[in-house]
Amino acid sequence: MAYQSSSLATTRDGTTISYRLIKGNGDKRIVLVHSLAMDKTFWEPTAEALDGAADALIFDCRGHGASGKPAGPYSVELFADDMADLMDHVGWTSAVVAGASMGGCVALAFAARYPERAAALGLFDTTSWYGADAPKAWKERADKAVAEGMGALVGFQKTRWFSDAFREANPDVVEKAIGVFLKNELPAYAATCAMLGNADIRAALPGFRFPCRVAVGTEDYATPPEMARYMADNIPGAELFIMEGVRHFTPLEVPGVIAGHLQELAKAV
């Protein structure tokens, strides 16, 4: 598998997006969208596990990693537009679109906004709506980070991200994720938290007409199985997979399993 060095694209509003194209089977194309406060490296273990079955496009969402961090407000629709602009930049008309957590919300928004460009949809550890109290809950998280620094959230986050057994057995993976998390700039993090608090893509689900897989861990209490079940029940033909004993960052905890779902989606298109 050939890793292209990171390159930059520019969106329609002038924001730079840092991306990497991982070459595999050029006949199959997958765009992967990372979780909140992560970056493109979040998807590298899964991309490796694809074992060349598809070309994979990974990138830093605006406000994250090496991409531009313009002032908010942000929206999942804005992030979806960034994806469309990035796909234009690399010459992809359509692709399997997949995301984890925040990335799943962005993938949903992309599928709703650009249905002709979503060949299939992979929704991992995510939701179409965080609930009626979401704006308040996400604001509280952002306010804590702004007041006390990103480090104040690490203890809370790492237990949500990974199962107890995985954290004990894979401290290097946990520490790498924490390192990425701590590099986030507070204004961009706060704007993205507000975005997730306001995100609601439920109305679009019944109109989707492409293969879709929804997968979540039994121990995921950030986006629990009932949120996954709601999406699967409302997207025509969607398949639901419940993964035993894993939590919220399944692309890092069980990358081979997630790669398997992506391979099946690629085969379906």
Domain ranges in the chain are 2-131+199-267
DSSP character at residue 199: -
DSSP string, 126-177: --SB--TTHHHHHHHHHHHHHHH-GGGGHHHHHHHHS-HHHHHH-HHHHHHH
Q: Report phi then psi at 237, rounded to 5.
A: 75, 5
Which tokens in the block code for residue 27?
Answer: 């006949």
**Per-residue pLDDT at 2:** 54
**Per-residue pLDDT at 26:** 74
Which tokens in the block code for residue 177?
Answer: 């994720």
In the block, tokens 């949809």 appear at 121
What's the chain's Rg over C-alpha atoms?
A: 17
**Per-residue pLDDT at 34:** 98
85 CB-contact burial (10 Å; exposed 0-12 / middle 13-18 / buried 19+): middle
DSSP string, 169-198: H-HHHHHHHHHHHHT--HHHHHHHHHHHHH
117 pLDDT band, cuts 50/70/90, is very high
CB 35 within 8 A of CB 177: no
251 pLDDT band, cuts 50/70/90, is very high
DSSP character at residue 25: -
Q: For residues 226 and 127, give the distance between their C-alpha atoms in angstroms, rounded to a whole number.
A: 9
Share of the chain above pLDDT 70, in %: 99
- Average pLDDT, stretch 240-249? 98
DSSP string, 26-71: TT-EEEEEPPTT--GGGGHHHHHHTTTSSEEEEEPPTTSTTS----
- Average pLDDT, stretch 105-109? 98
25 pLDDT band, cuts 50/70/90, is confident
**Per-residue pLDDT at 3:** 58
Q: For residues 32 and 100, give the distance between their C-alpha atoms in angstroms, rounded to a whole number.
A: 8
User: What's the mean per-residue pLDDT of the chain?
Assistant: 97
Side chain identity at residue 126, one-letter code? T
CB 88 within 8 A of CB 81: no
- Average pLDDT, stretch 91-111? 98
Which tokens in the block code for residue 5?
Answer: 């060095």
1 pLDDT band, cuts 50/70/90, is low
For residue 120, is pLDDT > 60? yes
Torsion on CA atoms 10, 65, 54, 87, rounded to nearest 10: -20
Which tokens in the block code for residue 101?
Answer: 């957590």
**Per-residue pLDDT at 204:** 98
For residue 214, is pLDDT > 70? yes
Q: Is the dihedral of CA 131, 182, 124, 249 positive or negative?
A: negative
Kindly report, residue by residue over 147-181, the tens digit of the pLDDT: 999 999 999 999 999 999 999 999 999 999 999 99
- Return the CATH class of domain 2-131+199-267: alpha beta
**Per-residue pLDDT at 6:** 86
- Average pLDDT, stretch 54-83? 98
**Per-residue pLDDT at 5:** 73
CB 60 within 8 A of CB 17: yes
- Average pLDDT, stretch 14-33? 95
